[in-house]
Amino acid sequence: MKKFLAFVFVGLLVCSGAWAANVTITATASQVLSVATGSTTWSVTLDNTGTALAVSPVDSLTVKSSKHAYTVTFSSSDAGQLKMTSGTDSYYIPYLIKVDTTGWSSGVTTNNLSDYVQLATGKTIVFSARTPVAGKSFPISFKINEYADYYEDGPYTATLTIGISAN
């Protein structure tokens, strides 16, 4: 009888849990992915003496991301060359870019701009950690290598494009 009573009570307890309501809670955290530089125009003066020109840093790159995996891509007009057009002639000066991410090595998987590189094709920095809300900033450096021949004097320009995408 005691066993029977125990069974009944167990049954009662089981039965008592029958009235349950399930609520699905869904939270959506909005996405933030952005890159910015301190200035949208960089101006440098080449003395045309054949010596290299380096501006370090020329600016800073600020990255903000609410994703832990993302890639920042640098690309340039004219395959990484400054260009001047005069009449029907065009003149080019190759330039190099470097981005120093050593200050946040734990958040960077691969930096293809850790040393000066010409943006003949797009170069990437691959990240593996979310930034703080204020973002992470990295120095950008600019360089024109030494040269043997004079460059045609005048104003040259290039457009550097920096993009960010989630992986």
Which residues contact another protein by CB under 8 A? 1, 4-5, 8, 12, 15-17, 19-32, 65-68, 130-134
Nearer to another protein, 46 or 129 (CB): 129
Contacts of 25 (CB under 8 A, 6+ apart): none
Angstrom distance (rounded) from CA 18 to CA 43: 74
Compute how many other C-beta atoms are within 10 angstroms of the C-beta atom of residue 46: 16
Q: How far is the CB of 112 from another protein (least distance, A)?
A: 25
Cβ closest to another protein, residue 62 vs residue 66: 66
Tell me the closest approach of the beta carbon of residue 7 to another protein, in angstroms: 9
Half-sphere exposure of 128 (CA within 13 A, CB side): 7
- Closer residue to another protein in complex, CB, 58/108: 108
Q: By the 8 A CB rule, do 162 and 61 touch?
A: yes
Nearest distance from residue 67's CB to another protein, in Å?
6
Q: Strand 136-144 vs strand 96-99: parallel, antiparallel, or unpaired?
A: antiparallel
CB of 126 to another protein, least distance (A): 17
